Chains A and B, each alone.
Chain A
Amino acid sequence: MVKLFDTQQLRLINKYAIRDFSRSYKKLWVIASTLFISLLLLSLTFSVKEALNNEITANSKELLGGDIQLSTGIDPLPDLIVDELKTLGVVSTAIELATMVSSIDMAPVFTELRAVDDHYPLYGEIVSSPPGSAEKIFSTTKPMVLINESIQNLLKVKVGDDVLIMGKTFEVAGLVVSVPDIAESAVFGEFAIIGKASYDKFELSSGGSFLDYEYRLKFSNPSNANEQNKIVESIVAYDDTIETRLPGESGQRLGRVIDNFSNFLNLVSVSAMIIAGIGISNTLLSFVNQRNTSIAVKKSIGFSSNFIQLMYFYEIILILITTSIIAYLFGVFSPLLANELLPKSLGIDLQPTVSLIGYLNIFFIGLLVVLIFSIPSLYSISEIKAVALFRNTFQPVSLNFSLKNIVLLFILVVILTTYFVLQTEQKFYTVLYFVAFFITMLIFYGVSRLLISFLKKFHKFSSNGYRIAHRNIIAKKSLAPIMTVSLGIGLTLLLTLSFVANNLKQEISDTIPSMAPDLFFVSIDRDIQPDLESFIKSIDPEVMLEFSPMASASFISLNGTPIEELVSENNRSAWVVRGDRRISWSEKPNPDNPIIEGEWWEPGNENEMFISMDSRAAYDLGMSINDKITLNILGRDVTGTIKNFREVDYRDISINFAIIINKAFANKLPYEYIGTLKSDVSSNDILARVVEQFPNVSAIKVDRILSQVSGVLNKIFIAVTGISLIVIVIGLIVIVSAVLVQTTFRRYNNLIYKILGVDFPTILRAMTIEFVLIYLTLVFFALSVAIAGSYLIVENTLQLTWRFDLGLTLWILLTTALVSFVMILIANKSIFSPKVYPLIRNE
Chain B
Amino acid sequence: MNAAIQFNNVSLSYGSKVDPVEVLKGINFSVSSEEIVSIIGPSGSGKTSIIMLASGLETATEGSIKINSQEIVGLKENNLSEIRRKNIGIVFQSFYLIPNLTATENVLLSLEANQKYNQEEEAKKLLSEFGLSHRLDHLPSELSGGEQQRVAIARALINKPKIILADEPTGNLDSANSQSMMDLLFEYTKKSKTSLVMVTHDNSIAERCDRIIEIKDGQIV
Flag if B81 contacts A304 (CB, 8 Å).
yes
Flag if B78 contacts A302 (CB, 8 Å).
no
| Complex partner residue of B110 from A24, A301, A305, A385, CB under 8 angstroms | A301
Q: Among B21-29, B63-71, B89-97, B122-130, which stretch is in contact with chain A?
A: B89-97
Flag if B81 contacts A302 (CB, 8 Å).
yes
Interface membership of A238, Cβ < 8 A:
no
Interface membership of B9, Cβ < 8 A:
no
| Complex partner residue of A387 from B57, B97, B110, CB under 8 angstroms | B57
Chain A residues in 8 Å Cβ range of B97:
297
- Among A293, A294, A304, A382, max chain B CB count under 10 A is at A304
Chain B residues in 8 Å Cβ range of A387:
52, 57-58
Interface membership of B137, Cβ < 8 A:
no
Flag if A20 contacts B100 (CB, 8 Å).
yes
Interface membership of A826, Cβ < 8 A:
no
Chain A residues in 8 Å Cβ range of B84:
300-302
Interface membership of A9, Cβ < 8 A:
yes
Flag if B48 contacts A390 (CB, 8 Å).
yes
Q: Mark B83-124, 1 if CB is under 8 A from A, else 0.
A: 011101010111011111100010001101111010000000
Chain A residues in 8 Å Cβ range of B90:
300-301, 389
Flag if A304 contacts B78 (CB, 8 Å).
yes
B99 to chain A, nearest CB (A): 7
Q: Mark A384-402, 1 if CB is under 8 A from B, else 0.
A: 0111011110000000000
Chain B residues in 8 Å Cβ range of A301:
84-85, 90, 109-110, 113, 155
In the complex the two chains form, what is the Cα distance from A1 to B51 in whole Å? 24
Chain A residues in 8 Å Cβ range of B155:
301
Q: Closest residue to B81 on the A side, CB-wise?
A: A304
Known: A1-B82, A390-B48. A302 touches B114 (CB 8 A): yes
In the complex the two chains form, what is the Cα distance from A198 to B58 in whole Å? 98
Count chain B residues whose beta carbon lies closer than 8 angstroms to a beta carbon of A: 34
Flag if B99 contacts A294 (CB, 8 Å).
yes
Interface membership of B55, Cβ < 8 A:
yes
Flag if B115 contacts A390 (CB, 8 Å).
no
Interface membership of A538, Cβ < 8 A:
no
Q: Closest residue to A392 on the B side, CB-wise?
A: B94
Interface membership of A119, Cβ < 8 A:
no
| Complex partner residue of B81 from A12, A297, A303, CB under 8 angstroms | A303
- Among A298, A385, A389, max chain B CB count under 10 A is at A389
Flag if B82 contacts A390 (CB, 8 Å).
no
Flag if A386 contacts B100 (CB, 8 Å).
no
Known: A23-B100, A386-B57. A302 touches B86 (CB 8 A): yes
Chain A residues in 8 Å Cβ range of B35:
none
Interface membership of A8, Cβ < 8 A:
yes
Chain A residues in 8 Å Cβ range of B88:
302
Q: Closest residue to A391 on the B side, CB-wise?
A: B48
Flag if B114 contacts A304 (CB, 8 Å).
no
Known: A1-B78, A390-B52. A302 touches B100 (CB 8 A): no
In the complex the two chains form, what is the Cα distance from A298 to B98 in whole Å? 9
Interface membership of B147, Cβ < 8 A:
no
21 contacts between A and B (CB under 8 A): A9-B115, A298-B98, A298-B109, A300-B55, A300-B84, A301-B84, A301-B155, A302-B81, A302-B84, A302-B85, A302-B88, A303-B81, A303-B85, A303-B113, A304-B78, A305-B77, A306-B78, A382-B77, A390-B92, A392-B93, A392-B94
Binding site for A on B (CB under 8 A): 48, 51-52, 55, 57-58, 77-78, 81-82, 84-86, 88, 90, 92-94, 96-101, 105, 109-110, 112-115, 117, 155, 167
List 4 A-B pairs, minimum CB-CB distance, nearest first: A302-B85, A304-B81, A302-B84, A294-B98
